[in-house]
A = this chain, B = another copy of it.
């Protein structure tokens, strides 16, 4: 039997800033350097950047698409999974991950962060991104905020 692969999801908006692109690319690159499979939503923006970064380091990348076909798939994906599940695919991404790193914010990204926190078994880290406060205005606990890719990857605790 071979070892179970370490898999990390990199989530973020399909339309992102240049800084977010750079963060996602570097995050993908670092993860692949550690031998981790990079899982993402398979579209553009942060997803494409993470895949490009991982591919640049020789890593395996997986894109889990909402559509039932591959038309919208970004480049740099070793495996393309057109789930046909729509945004229900966000939970498939989350279940595949030993850790979730979000770069930047959007409603779709937030749904993935929330589903990962709901799952409750893997580290959830974000670089930038949106913030969640409870009714009393306090940050909802548990998400690690990282200043950049190196800190985010370290915060997963997967690569000691």
A residues near B (Cβ < 8 Å) are 1-2, 4-5, 7, 37, 39, 55, 60, 62, 64, 68-70, 73, 75-92, 94-96, 105-108, 110-111, 114-115, 117-120, 128-135, 137, 140
Question: Can you list 24 residue pairs at the A/B interface with Cβ under 8 Å?
Answer: A2-B76, A4-B73, A5-B77, A62-B81, A68-B95, A79-B79, A81-B81, A81-B96, A84-B85, A85-B85, A85-B86, A85-B88, A86-B91, A86-B95, A88-B91, A90-B115, A91-B91, A107-B115, A108-B114, A110-B140, A111-B111, A111-B115, A114-B114, A128-B135
Residues in B whose Cβ lies below 8 Å from that of A82? 95-96
- Cβ-neighbour of A130 out of B1, B39, B84, B140 (below 8 A): B140
Output the least CB separation between A146 and chain B (Å). 13
Distance, CA A83 to CA B82, complexed state (A) = 13
Output the least CB separation between A44 and chain B (Å). 12
Residues in B whose Cβ lies below 8 Å from that of A108? 114, 118
* In contact, A85 and B92 (Cβ under 8 angstroms): yes
* In contact, B135 and A80 (Cβ under 8 angstroms): no
Output the least CB separation between A70 and chain B (Å). 6
* In contact, A84 and B86 (Cβ under 8 angstroms): yes
* In contact, A2 and B55 (Cβ under 8 angstroms): yes
* In contact, A92 and B88 (Cβ under 8 angstroms): yes
* In contact, A119 and B55 (Cβ under 8 angstroms): no
